[in-house]
Structure 1
Amino acid sequence: MAKSSDRRRRARSKSCAGDQAQPASRPLPHPSDPILQTLVRDTTTRLIYGFLFKRRQNPPTMVEIRAFLARKLGEAPAQTDRRVRDLRDAFEVPSEYLDGGYRYVLRGWRAGGPLEDRSGISGRLRAEVLSPQRCAQCGRTPLDHGVVLVVDHMIPREWGGSNERENLQPLCEECNHGKRDLYSSYDAAASQIRQAITYDEPHRRIGELLKAFRGDWVPGGMLGVVASAIQYQEDWQKRTRELRTLGWVIETQKRRDVAGRIHTYYRASHWEPWPRGDIRAEIRRRERSARSA
């Protein structure tokens, strides 16, 4: 059975490699190649690259990556998942569900070539983002609760988020880690999420995100961020409900987290093709028709 699983993984890896936009003649750099130091400046992240390089035919889970770092460094760094995602600035490292778990596949070079360093946020911008001195998610402050605030990308960089001020917010380290853990579990849908963010109309952004999850539950916070990706949507929940006017079946579910906070999740169990022309105008037309019937 193990050999059969290995064969499936190797076949999957070869198939994925053939789909890349990068030329097949451009091999991945060996972990000892000096070019890697110019692309990946963090030593721990380079260790992760070497592990993924070695495990290309048998991609590891995040648990295995952390265990590898613990053996190498004595302990696994707190931001291991962040370092794995940082590799995507230069390489294609999708998280794929294989053999009962999400595994990180070092597939090849990033389509379009390595990005320039996008992690650099100026000191002035960082100070502006952190100036409220309050976590945007839990509301705790450094003065009253002793938390450490960090600059968070509301739309993650790997989903197309930028360093623009409107995409940055202050989060405490605990909330930031929790958000990264949650969002990284959706890495398999990253390409669909990036596509949803590009649409001009908020209804379409919301709808395409729900479609990307194919009937699975989507956290309301993520839906709100994507809805406001181009222009802030104060009432994105209403935009979501309005999709029902177009024949969509939208369900909601309330969940309580470990801190006792209530969060709303959404899913689309049925959707219709987008109408031609302006979506908002078509929704208003159908609403008027329903009232006059």
Structure 2
Amino acid sequence: MAKRRMKKLSPLHLRIVDALRKHPKGLHIGDIRRLAVKRGDRQQHLDKRVRELSPYFVIDRPVRGRYTIYKYIRRRKPGEWNAEGVSNKLRSHVIHMAHGKCQMCGRTVAEDGIRLHVDHRIPQRWGGTSDVENLWAICSSCNEGKKDYFSSLPDNMMVRLASTASVHQRLAKLLNLKAGKWVSSDFLRSIANLTETQDDWQRRLREIRPFVRRLEKLKVHEEKRVTTHYRFPKRIRLPKNLAELVKRREKRRRMKAE
């Protein structure tokens, strides 16, 4: 594989990085505009300029009240750089493989009149690549909803989860990072589906139960629906080979059933 090189960043990009480094507690977009944009230089899409730093820098985005706060975490190593876009050929291939169906909600172009967009399953700022394995075709509603939802998640945590290949390990790691706090089924489903579509993500959650001390469950009434929340009461030491342990247990269970 050819070695990737960092694209030359503009003076504005470099001023944004400098401002973020000097303010470790983070800056909201108004602060960045005041500190990094020169007088008379209009930047209507300054948040986009910040996102363009993601292939080369880890920048966290916690939400405080009604503001998104941008926090500089670290510079990515050269092997982590990903400035590749999606070529027209690759975009056409991904759309073709979707067979006219949104790979997130299941609605179709023919029956529902949706428009498909090629999207990164794992966002580039979390280490996602533009390889075909990390691309899928989703409708406009799912695309916007996913962006809004993911923008509220802390980047440093999501980078750790996105780099975990096993769905079992990923779910357990999330619950461990959030130990003592209730985690919604919506969040867990998103994490389960980060790298591949999970038709029955709840089953993956049940399969880790024998290998954790306790997994608590809570029903929560939210407007017109009831959602399930889960948590580990306290942080535990997870087995590194959790996926293999689950696989062995399921194999023994099937053998007994036969």
TM normalised by structure 1 equals 0.60
Shift of 1:94: 2.7
Cα distance in structure 2, aligned partners of 1:274 and 1:114: 26
What is the aligned-residue identity percentage?
27
Query: Given that residues 189 and 213 in structure 1 are in contact (C-alpha distance below 8 angstroms), is that contact kept between their aligned partners in structure 2?
Result: no
Aligned amino acid, residue 52 of structure 2: D
2:160 is aligned to 192
Instruction: Mark the runs of 5 or more structure 2 residues left unpaired by the alignment.
Output: none
Instruction: Mark the runs of 5 or more structure 1 residues left unpaired by the alignment.
Output: 1-34, 289-293
Matched residue SS, 2:193: helix
Query: Given that residues 55 and 127 in structure 2 are in contact (C-alpha distance below 8 angstroms), is that contact kept between their aligned partners in structure 1?
Result: no
- Equivalences for 1:1-293 in 2 at 5 Å? 38-40=7-9, 47=12, 50-54=15-19, 56-58=21-23, 59-62=26-29, 73=42, 75-76=44-45, 80=47, 83-95=49-61, 102-106=68-72, 109-112=75-78, 115-118=81-84, 120-131=85-96, 132-140=99-107, 147-186=114-153, 187-195=155-163, 197-198=164-165, 201-214=166-179, 215-218=181-184, 219-226=187-194, 229=195, 233-246=198-211, 247-251=213-217, 253=219, 266-270=230-234, 272-275=236-239, 278-280=244-246, 283=249
Cα distance in structure 1, aligned partners of 2:30 and 2:70: 11
Judging changes above 3 Å, is the alpha-carbon distance between structure 1 residues 138 and 116 closer, same or farther for their aligned structure 2 residues?
closer
CA displacement 1:127-177 (0-9 Å, x = unmatched)? 122233343334555666665432111222233333333322212334223
Cα distance in structure 2, aligned partners of 1:112 and 1:98: 31
Cα distance in structure 2, aligned partners of 1:159 and 1:286: 36
Cα distance in structure 1, aligned partners of 2:65 and 2:29: 14
How many residue pairs were aligned?
236
Query: Given that residues 155 and 167 in structure 1 are in contact (C-alpha distance below 8 angstroms), is that contact kept between their aligned partners in structure 2?
Result: yes
Judging changes above 3 Å, is the alpha-carbon distance between structure 1 residues 241 and 116 closer, same or farther for their aligned structure 2 residues?
closer
Cα distance in structure 2, aligned partners of 1:54 and 1:272: 38
Matched residue SS, 2:81: coil
Shift of 1:239: 1.9
Structure with the bigger RCO (C-alpha within 8 Å, sep 6+) is 2
RMSD value, Cα: 4.4
Judging changes above 3 Å, is the alpha-carbon distance between structure 1 residues 243 and 183 closer, same or farther for their aligned structure 2 residues?
same
TM normalised by structure 2 equals 0.66
Judging changes above 3 Å, is the alpha-carbon distance between structure 1 residues 173 and 281 closer, same or farther for their aligned structure 2 residues?
closer
